[in-house]
Amino acid sequence: MNIIIVGAGKVGYSIAERLSFEEHSITLVDTDTDVLEEAQDNLDVLTIEGNGASIDTLRRADADHGDVLIAMMNADEANLLCCLSAKKLGCRYTMARVRDPEYSKHISFLRDDLGLSMAVNPEHMAANEIYRLIQFPSFLKRDSFDKGRVELVEMKLLDGSPLVGKKLYETSSILGLRVLVCAVERDGVVTIPNGGFTLMSGDRVTVTAARVDLAALIKSLGLLRQKIRDVLIIGCGRIAEYLTDELLRSGVNVKVIEKDEKRAEEFQERFPKSLVIKGNASKKGFLESERVDSFDAVISLTGVDEENLVISMYCSHLGIKKTVTKIDRSEYTSLFSDRELGSVVCPKELTANEIIRYIRAISRSGEEGSIRALHRIVDGKAEALEFVIAAQAPYTGVPLAKLKFKSNVLVACITRSSQIIIPNGSDTLQIGDTVIIVTTADRPVYDLKDIFERDAVRD
């Protein structure tokens, strides 16, 4: 597909990198010459210097014949104008980053008039992710599928876990639940395991389970079950706004630390039920003076990745039950994977994932196809994808054990009507099923048939 990305900042560059890897034709537009030169040196993209909201620049980028335009400039107004102009020129699909909460409220109402195919709000997505993690603090990561009925959760196995030393085919009987371990990271290497795989202490495992079984899963594993009641948020950015609103409405006590006095006052005025303190959380002794060890969760949301990392490591060292670290540079995730950071949330990656999902859907069918959700798991080394089987195919009605899957592919869950099936070899795929697939991220999956060998059924 011919894809134009306007704005080569952190998010735009990340999207260009991933779409270039998937062999789309990418044009990257920005006003910063240095950024464009870096992109041209490192990515297989065409670069154009200019104002992406300008009709002349869009014409130079060939928006008249573009399949997709993605507007990722800093200003919401510029992104919306860019998409409106591109649509008028003839671009088939347009996507915009829209951060302002007031604009976000009206996007669905004005989407057709603005010519928008999709609007994404990185900060809102990040706040939602953090809130979901706080609901089940034992999990490092949570991803939802099938309208929230199925979850993929990531956790670290520690000494004493009932799963350590056990083979995967034993997990359901040990836990008394129908679950499936669909990915394991050990020493930086990700494995899509089979039933004979043996789990070890220190493994980071991703497990598929019905949402209604999450509480029982935590109990069976002997993990932390205490509800989060007191949360400390460090940094008063937009993510903190969305998150504080959600936490206060759910009855959680919120305390916020912010360096900037004016911003702290504005935040306190907006959220009078929270407690906002002006101060530098990274300054020696400050967190102790605020009794940080009395909180159930600490959320580091400053604009500096390094500051967030240090604060989270320190809080983990103190024994805080739940820490969440916001980062913008996703490479830090693997760099600090051996440190106790707790959960890591990257708004850039959340945005890229949603856009990649949409593009994969439309690139095969010319319209939104069967792919419903895409989440990168295990620090981006694997993908979990949701599909709906819309028509008869060679792989339907055949026991999974008789299907020829490509390497490193696992059917993690099948939903049929109201039934959630954690599959074994005798289960089959049927028309109308929602299917969750887990595979390594080294090859893109656009359609369900991409997971099978050329001859899908074994002789």
The answer to whether residue 15 sits within a structural domain is yes
Instruction: Answer with the one of 96, 120, 144 that is the final residue of a domain.
Output: 120
CATH of the domain at 60: 3.40.50.720
The answer to whether residue 352 sits within a structural domain is no
Q: Is residue 114 domain-shared with residue 55, that is, in the same domain?
A: yes
Characterize the bridge pairing of strands 25-30 and 2-6: parallel
| SS3 (DSSP) at 361 | helix
Instruction: Answer with the one of 185, 202, 221 that is the final residue of a domain.
Output: 221
Number of structural domains (the chain) is: 4
How many whole angstroms separate alpha carbon 456 and alpha carbon 438? 17
H helices of 101-192, where? Answer: 101-114, 122-135, 171-175
Beta bridge partners of 145: 150
Beta strands in 114-202 (DSSP E): 118-120, 141-145, 150-156, 180-186, 189-191
Residue 441's domain comprises: 364-457
**Residue 3 · residue 44 · CB < 8 Å:** no
Characterize the bridge pairing of strands 68-71 and 141-145: unpaired
Cβ contacts of 346 within 8 Å, gap of 6 or more: 126, 326, 327, 328, 330, 333
Instruction: Answer with the one of 221, 253, 288 that is the final residue of a domain.
Output: 221
Q: Is residue 87 domain-shared with residue 160, that is, in the same domain?
A: no
The answer to whether residue 341 sits within a structural domain is no
Tens digits of pLDDT across the chain (459 residues): 899 999 999 899 999 999 998 889 999 999 999 999 999 999 999 999 999 999 999 999 999 999 999 999 999 999 999 999 999 999 999 999 998 877 766 776 666 677 788 899 999 999 999 999 999 888 989 999 988 899 999 999 989 899 999 999 999 899 999 899 999 999 889 999 998 999 999 999 999 999 999 989 988 888 866 789 999 999 999 999 999 999 999 999 999 999 999 999 999 999 999 999 999 998 888 999 989 999 999 999 999 999 999 999 999 888 898 999 999 887 666 665 556 678 999 999 999 999 998 998 887 654 444 688 899 998 888 999 999 998 888 899 999 999 999 999 999 999 998 899 999 999 999 999 999 999 998 888 888 888 998 887 776
Q: Is residue 110 domain-shared with residue 9, that is, in the same domain?
A: yes
The answer to whether residue 297 sits within a structural domain is yes
Nearest to 316 by CA among 298, 332, 330: 298
The answer to whether residue 344 sits within a structural domain is no
Q: Is residue 199 domain-shared with residue 256, that is, in the same domain?
A: no
Terminal Cα-to-Cα distance of the chain (whole angstroms): 36
CATH of the domain at 443: 3.30.70.1450
How many whole angstroms separate alpha carbon 92 and alpha carbon 377? 30
The answer to whether residue 332 sits within a structural domain is no
Which tokens belong to 421? 């099936």
The answer to whether residue 326 sits within a structural domain is no
Q: Is residue 6 domain-shared with residue 67, that is, in the same domain?
A: yes
The answer to whether residue 193 sits within a structural domain is yes
Amino acid at residue number 189: V
H helices of 250-370, where? Answer: 261-270, 286-289, 305-318, 331-335, 347-365
